[in-house]
Amino acid sequence: MHIREARDGDNEELQQLQARCPQGTTLVVSTVNTPDFFARAKAYSDYRVYVAVEDNHIVGSTACALRTGMISGKEEKVGHVFQAFVDPDYRGRRIAGQMHQHREEYLRHKGAALAYSLIIEGNTPSIHYISREGFQWHRAMVMPCLLVLKDMAAGSRYRIRTAVTDDLPSIAGLVSETWLDCELYEPRSAETLQQFIIRTPGYDLDNLFVLQEDDTIVACLGFWDWSQVMKITVGDELLRQIMLTPIGYKRREHLTALLKHVNNVARQRGIGYIYCVCEQGHPLLSSLRGFTRIDTAIHVYIKYLREDTVLANKQLFIDGVDLSGC
């Protein structure tokens, strides 16, 4: 067996293998990246996808991404490790561990201060796997799922509209103002936002909305349409979901109005579920009143790659983009 970087020509074989590798124990979820297996990773500016190959057949795959994040008040490089799966017929041979070594070596080579992994509650096999690779539990975040059941009145006192390119500096400033004091937050600029929109399949300016008060943008809310980049099924049910990113707001009532607007857009597009992620007790959660909501825990596991690195005892920021790899 050998491990190499994945190639475009691996697309169909990877999709077939991924379909054979549902995740979870109490809740079994099947996710297949389609039509482009690599679409989830393309949301990051710097990523690697690896495959394990035996007898000219792909028997496993994993991925990692490198980004900037705040650690104790300083911008550092951090690595996100995600999307690991192995052919059921080849499990128990440490293939997942060998693939992880390749992604960790890449992140160390690029100077990452730490690597983190996100695991949905109940996924015991993934917890055992990532713990064997030296990751330690850091904390549990909450991933609210908002059910799109009916149209909701956003209120007439605000002007809500689709964002345009000229709004990106204001949006970047508002998002940074909302999250800058959180560990692992990646500082935003108009340029980095535009690059994200351009490179991310299933995301464009039509997915990004702003709320204005007296001609000033006081809230922004975007969403990544997962149904355009992956097929998610639970049992026989095909789920159509969106993940909220970016999120920025001055006041909670501003965000609530935008959430109701996005709910209505989602309903028009046939979307059934809206997701976001934040800390337990974060003010964002109080903006969700009026929605039918189901909360799921997302466990954050950390492995420090440099001895001088320690996360401060502050709230943690996880981008909704990362949740696609849980």
How do the pLDDT tens digits run along the chain, 326 residues long? 999 999 999 999 999 999 999 876 666 789 999 999 999 999 999 999 999 999 999 999 999 999 999 999 999 999 999 999 999 999 999 999 999 999 999 999 999 999 999 999 988 889 999 999 999 999 999 999 999 999 999 877 889 999 999 999 999 999 999 999 999 999 999 999 999 999 999 999 999 999 999 899 999 999 999 999 999 998 888 999 999 999 999 999 999 999 999 999 999 999 999 999 999 989 899 999 899 999 999 999 999 999 999 999 999 999 999 997 66
Q: Report the Cα 78 to chain-centroid distance in Å.
A: 15
C-beta of residue 205 within 8 angstroms of C-beta of residue 165? yes
Q: Is the dihedral of CA 268, 249, 194, 239 positive or negative?
A: negative
Mean pLDDT rounded to a whole number for the chain: 95
C-beta of residue 222 within 8 angstroms of C-beta of residue 208? yes
What's the pTM value of the predicted model, to 2 decimals?
0.95
Omega prior to 246 cis, within 30 of 0? yes
Q: Which helix (H) or strand (E) holds 108?
A: helix 95-109
pLDDT of residue 24: 67
Of 248, 232, 172, give the one whose Cα is nearest residue 30: 232
Q: How far apart are CA 197 and CA 252, in angstroms?
A: 25
- Work out whether strand 241-249 and strand 273-275 pair parallel, antiparallel, or are unpaired: parallel
pLDDT digits (tens, 9 = 90+) for 48-57: 999 999 999 9
C-beta of residue 101 within 8 angstroms of C-beta of residue 292? no
* Amino acid identity for residue 55 in this structure: D
274-297 as b/e: b if 16+ CB within 10 A: bbbbbbeebebbebbeebeeeebe
C-beta of residue 311 within 8 angstroms of C-beta of residue 71? yes
Mind listing the domains of the chain with CATH numbers? 2-142 (3.40.630.30), 144-297 (3.40.630.30)
